[in-house]
């Protein structure tokens, strides 16, 4: 085949069509205008590869293979919501949507065909079909050096995956549209990808408060009583989620209220609203024969059913209209704030097959493979557009997604429950326009309960999902004060977190960022990750017994972990991935701790950092070891950070409600901070009804630190009043 025909699409973005891709694809479906001005502000980009010469395409029988060069050290990140590792180098990722991704194959709830490498560029394959990405897991004959074939028995350098010089992408037979995003850093390439997809999402303020989902068969009265208990116990909460039992029938669903459990839905939603709660409704795509929309939807549905319910073809306007009208009348107009879009993933490879097959056919002409890859996006878009029509922002949950989803107000979740994987997924989501919640459901001990709750409070959605276990934040009495403390801390940080999301919206910068996105370059990241020395252990060692010290020393600052059992027999190890810590906004670093741990290594980006709750000062650009008693999750704030905060309140401020604002500045270094504000609920900000403030803290001639607003761009009145400053802090008071 000939070379590709690359065309510049926007600043630092190039496009080439391959083959004859079908019209249905994530980018085409989402129909979001690229944010050209913001892309322009990032500037043109020089790519670290020559597109014309180094990107190859080849047809092998019915298959189309696209390939990109890889340098020896290059790391490959992204490819959607991956649970098992962060750097995908050496792995083949089979990007099929799957509700039960227990194996490291690449399948997942959100198999986004977008990767970014630490040479500072990204690639998107825009298609509604399955793509396989060989991330340096294949070696072509012409690239193979005979001397690289080692003897596993005797050569310690033997690896299962010899060094490969290429990423090979197996495209769908029909081809796909391919986009390349420049950097120069990996973080910039990710921002460009998000901006090209329309920018990031700005959730309503209430979406960033605490969420609680009640057991599946709760009645209106039980739900209201549980909500009231949050207020009585002084635990902030903004959203109450209902699970399957609100439907008259679920699995398949009717989308209609159950007359016995919820005799007066409007009154129920109103009563909760009066106490400052929003209501979120669980649902899934498969429509019950008992639903009023069943008959009209039937001719607009696929060839196969799921649990006896229809799988509607929501690429059809007529099908969309039926769904939208029903939801509008029965939910949106009575004040329901959004949805949890469940079960829109599915795979026939799991031990319980329930999804329609890839060979299902749909009236629009799409097949089951396409519909499965696209289903999550179809629902996200339909529901978001419905709320937009009412000039209301929504925020909810979804269990399947794909590319071009950054504008969608949806957070991914899973039935998996490994805490480390949950934190890794939070990191990996940041490489490709996704949001993820490490939701809390249950715990085997008060300690695990605390560790999970601490981590979820620093995530895109702080949620307890008690649908099956009936847990409550106070289920472990000894843990309640710690949990209250962290939910309150999240509320205090709401102005800061909301501003981080505004930067996502307008600049494409993810609000939560994995460590490779927290450094200016791969070199800086690698240098910090290998900067370790005995001095970082001193503070911790002093407080520990000799035996613990020996154990920690044996573990070593490298903290290497065994790759897998087969390789372990041959003595193979891999270096630690920093996939258990992340940035929240620019200035806070979160380092979750897992049950059983009382200390951990933390990789700090360059500059000085303070333990947010300890006041200990650390020199960054290296690994430090910190203590983590059960009541504390290690949090770090950058020296010089100027962070907008508010008092912890029972729920987020409503539109028009005024709250005091306090700017907190850390350390003695001068610094800058940012505040974004708007009504927190509508899309009026898109008409400029919003406010940006830049704060600056610096010492005057007298050496005294002073804070002031140096720049203001006010299209709206601030919802904050009584502005105060606390400067030169070493920790949060």
Complete DSSP assignment for 120-178: TEEEEEE-SS-EEEEES----GGG--GGG---TTT-TT--SS---SEEEEEE-TTEEEE
Shortest CA distance to 379 belongs to which of 391, 387, 367, 368? 387
370 vs 348: CA distance, rounded Å: 14
CB closer to ligand GAL out of 373 and 465: 465
Sole binder of ligand GAL in the list 467, 496, 578, 609 (CB under 6 A):
467
Comparison of 340 and 513: residue with beta carbon closer to ligand GAL: 340
Residue 224 C-beta: closest distance to ligand GAL, Å: 20
How much of the chain is helix, strand and coil, in % rounded to 5? 25, 25, 45
Considering the rule CB under 6 A, would residue 345 count as an interface residue with ligand GAL?
no
As measured in angstroms, the least distance from the Cβ of 217 to ligand GAL is 11
How near is the Cβ of 42 to ligand GAL at its closest, in Å?
Answer: 37
For residue 215, the minimal CB distance to ligand GAL (Å) is 10
Give 268 or 413: the residue with its C-beta nearer to ligand GAL. 413
What's the rounded Cα separation, in Å, for the pair 402 and 416? Answer: 19
Q: How many CB atoms lie within 10 A of CB 723?
A: 16
Minimum distance, C-beta of residue 468 to ligand GAL, in the bound complex (Å): 7
When asked if residue 343 is in the footprint of ligand GAL (CB under 6 A), the reply is: yes
* Minimum CB distance to ligand GAL smaller for 210 or for 467: 467
**Alpha-carbon gap, residue 661 to 195, rounded angstroms:** 30
Q: Which of 83, 196, 282, 720 binds ligand GAL (CB under 6 A)?
A: 282
d(CA 308, CA 296): 16
Residue 269 Cβ vs ligand GAL, minimum distance, rounded to whole Å = 20
Interaction pattern, residues 416-455, with ligand GAL; x per rule: CB under 6 A: ----------------------------------------
Please answer whether residues 316 and 325 qualify as being in contact, where contact means their C-beta atoms are separated by less than 8 angstroms: no
Minimum CB distance to ligand GAL, residue 253 (Å): 10
Q: Which of 557, 488, 544, 499 is nearest to 675 (CA)?
A: 499
How far is residue 610's CA from residue 620's CA, in Å, rounded to a whole number? Answer: 10
Minimum CB distance to ligand GAL smaller for 467 or for 578: 467
| Cβ–Cβ under 8 Å, residues 132 and 112 | no
Buried b (16+ CB within 10 A) or exposed e, 641-673: bbbbbbebbbbbbeeeeebebbbbbbbbbebbb
Q: Min. distance of Cβ 232 from ligand GAL in angstroms?
A: 26
The CB-of-440 to ligand GAL minimum distance in angstroms stands at: 12
The residue (of 149 and 217) whose beta carbon lies closer to ligand GAL is 217
Q: Which is nearer to ligand GAL, 282 or 525 (CB)?
A: 282
- Residue 643 C-beta: closest distance to ligand GAL, Å: 33
Contact 133, 106 (CB under 8 A): yes
Q: Which is nearer to ligand GAL, 29 or 467 (CB)?
A: 467
How far CA 605 is from CA of 503, 665, 672, in Å, comes to: 20, 19, 18
Which SS3 state, helix, strand or coil, does residue 7 take? Answer: strand
Residue 206 CA to residue 337 CA, distance in Å, equals 10
Q: Judged by CB, which is closer to ligand GAL: 155, or 415? A: 415
* Smallest distance from ligand GAL to CB 444, Å: 19
CA distances from residue 391 to 650, 680, 714 in whole angstroms, order as listed: 25, 12, 21
Q: How far is CA 721 from the centre of its chain?
A: 32
CB of 467 to ligand GAL, least distance (A): 4
Rounded to a whole number of angstroms, the minimum distance from the CB of residue 458 to ligand GAL is 21
Min CB(415)–ligand GAL separation in Å: 5
Copy the structure tokens of residue 9.
Answer: 């699409």
Among 84, 81, 85, CA closest to 95: 81
Relative to beta strand 114-117, strand 76-78 is: antiparallel
Residue 78, sorted as left (phi over 0), alpha (psi -120 to 50) or beta, turns out to be: left
Dmax (CA) for the chain in angstroms is: 78
The residues in 220-259 that bind ligand GAL, with binding defined as CB under 6 A, are 243-244
Q: Are strands 588-590 and 582-584 parallel, antiparallel or unpaired?
A: antiparallel
Cβ proximity of 237 and 209 under 8 Å:
yes
Q: Which is nearer to ligand GAL, 281 or 322 (CB)?
A: 281
Query: CB atoms < 10 A from the CB of 221, how many?
Result: 11
Tokens coding 444:
């085997």
Nearer to ligand GAL, 25 or 280 (CB): 280
* Dihedral sign computed on CA atoms, order 312, 315, 321, 324: positive
The nearest distance, CB 416 to ligand GAL, in angstroms, is 10
CB nearer to ligand GAL: give 342 or 488.
Answer: 342
Q: What's the CA gap between 241 and 254, in Å, rounded?
A: 18
In angstroms, the CA 652 to CA 212 distance is 15
Question: At its nearest, how many Å lie between ligand GAL and the CB of residue 370?
Answer: 23
- In whole angstroms, the minimum distance from the beta carbon of 413 to ligand GAL comes to 7
For 568, list phi and psi in degrees, rounded to 5: -60, -35
- Counting contacts by CB under 6 A, is residue 342 touching ligand GAL? yes
Q: How far apart are CA 660 and CA 724, in angstroms?
A: 8
Q: 561, 573 in Cβ contact below 8 A?
A: yes
Helix axes 317-330, 368-389, angle to 10 degrees: 40
Site string for ligand GAL, 396-415 (x = CB under 6 A): -------------------x
Number of chain positions touching ligand GAL (CB under 6 A):
9
Binding site for ligand GAL (CB under 6 A): 216, 243-244, 282, 342-343, 415, 465, 467
């Amino acid at each position: 085949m000939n070379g590709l025909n690359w065309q510049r699409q926007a600043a630092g973005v190039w496009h080439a069509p391959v083959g004859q891709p079908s019209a249905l694809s994530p980018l085409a479906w989402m129909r979001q205008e690229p944010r050209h001005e913001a892309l322009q502000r990032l500037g043109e980009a020089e790519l670290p590869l020559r597109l014309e010469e180094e990107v190859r395409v080849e047809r092998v029988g019915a298959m189309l293979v696209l390939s990109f060069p890889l340098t020896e050290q290059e790391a490959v990140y992204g490819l959607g919501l991956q649970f098992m590792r962060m750097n995908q180098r050496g792995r083949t990722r089979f990007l099929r949507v799957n509700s039960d991704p227990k194996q490291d194959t690449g399948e997942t709830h959100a198999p986004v065909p977008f990767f970014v490498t630490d040479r500072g560029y990204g690639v998107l394959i825009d298609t509604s079909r399955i793509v396989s990405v060989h991330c340096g897991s294949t070696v072509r004959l012409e690239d193979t050096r005979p001397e690289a074939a080692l003897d596993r028995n005797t050569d310690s350098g033997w690896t299962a995956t010899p060094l490969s010089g290429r990423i090979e992408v197996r495209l769908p037979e029909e081809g796909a549209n391919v986009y390349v995003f420049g950097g120069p850093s990996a973080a910039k390439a990710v921002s460009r990808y998000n901006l090209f997809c329309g920018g990031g999402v700005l959730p309503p303020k209430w979406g960033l408060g605490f969420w609680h989902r009640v057991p599946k068969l709760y009645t209106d009265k039980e739900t209201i009583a549980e909500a009231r208990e949050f207020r009585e116990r002084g635990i902030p909460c903004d959203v109450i989620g209902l699970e399957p039992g609100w439907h008259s029938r679920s699995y398949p669903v009717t989308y209609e209220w159950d007359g016995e459990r919820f005799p007066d839905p409007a009154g129920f939603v109103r009563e909760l609203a009066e106490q400052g709660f929003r209501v979120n409704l669980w649902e899934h795509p498969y429509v019950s024969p008992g639903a009023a929309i069943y008959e009209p939807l039937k001719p607009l549905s696929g060839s196969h059913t799921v649990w006896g319910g229809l799988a509607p073809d929501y690429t059809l306007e007529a099908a969309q209209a039926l769904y939208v009208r029903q939801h509008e009348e029965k939910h949106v107009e009575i004040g329901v704030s959004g949805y949890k879009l469940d079960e829109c993933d599915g795979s026939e490879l799991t031990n319980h097959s329930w999804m329609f097959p890839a060979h299902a056919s749909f009236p629009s002409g799409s097949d089951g493979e396409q519909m499965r890859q696209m289903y999550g996006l179809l629902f996200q878009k339909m529901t978001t557009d419905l709320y937009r029509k009412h000039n209301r922002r929504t925020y909810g949950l979804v269990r399947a997604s794909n590319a071009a989803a950054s504008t969608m107000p949806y957070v991914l979740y899973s039935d998996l429950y490994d805490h480390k994987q949950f934190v890794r997924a939070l990191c990996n989501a940041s490489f490709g326009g996704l949001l993820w919640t490490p939701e809390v459901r249950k715990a085997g001990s008060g300690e695990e309960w605390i560790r999970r709750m601490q981590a979820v409070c620093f995530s895109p959605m702080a949620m307890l999902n008690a649908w099956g276990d009936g847990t409550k934040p106070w289920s472990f009495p000894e843990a309640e004060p710690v949990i209250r403390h962290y939910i309150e801390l999240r509320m205090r940080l709401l102005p800061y977190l909301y501003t981080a999301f505004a930067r996502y919206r307008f600049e494409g910068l993810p609000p939560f960022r994995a460590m490779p996105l927290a450094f200016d370059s791969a070199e800086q990241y690698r240098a910090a990750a290998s900067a370790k020395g005995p001095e970082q252990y001193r503070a911790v060692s002093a407080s520990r017994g000799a035996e613990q010290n020996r154990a920690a020393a044996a573990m070593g600052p490298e903290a290497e972990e065994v790759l897998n059992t087969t390789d372990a027999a041959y003595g193979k190890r891999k270096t630690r991935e920093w996939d258990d810590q992340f940035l929240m906004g620019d200035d806070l670093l979160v380092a979750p701790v897992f049950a059983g741990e009382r200390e951990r290594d933390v990789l700090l980006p360059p500059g000085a950092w303070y333990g947010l709750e300890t006041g200990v000062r650390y020199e960054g650009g290296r690994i430090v070891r910190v203590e983590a008693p059960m009541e504390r999750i290690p949090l770090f704030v950058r020296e010089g950070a100027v962070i907008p905060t508010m008092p912890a309140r029972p729920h987020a401020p409503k539109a028009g409600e005024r709250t005091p604002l306090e700017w907190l500045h850390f350390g003695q270094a001068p610094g800058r901070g940012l505040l974004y504000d708007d009504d927190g609920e509508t899309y009026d900000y898109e008409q400029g009804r919003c406010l940006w403030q830049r704060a600056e803290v610096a010492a005057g001639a007298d050496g005294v630190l002073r804070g002031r607003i140096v720049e203001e761009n006010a299209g709206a009145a601030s919802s904050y009043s009584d502005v105060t400053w606390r400067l030169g802090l070493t920790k949060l008071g």
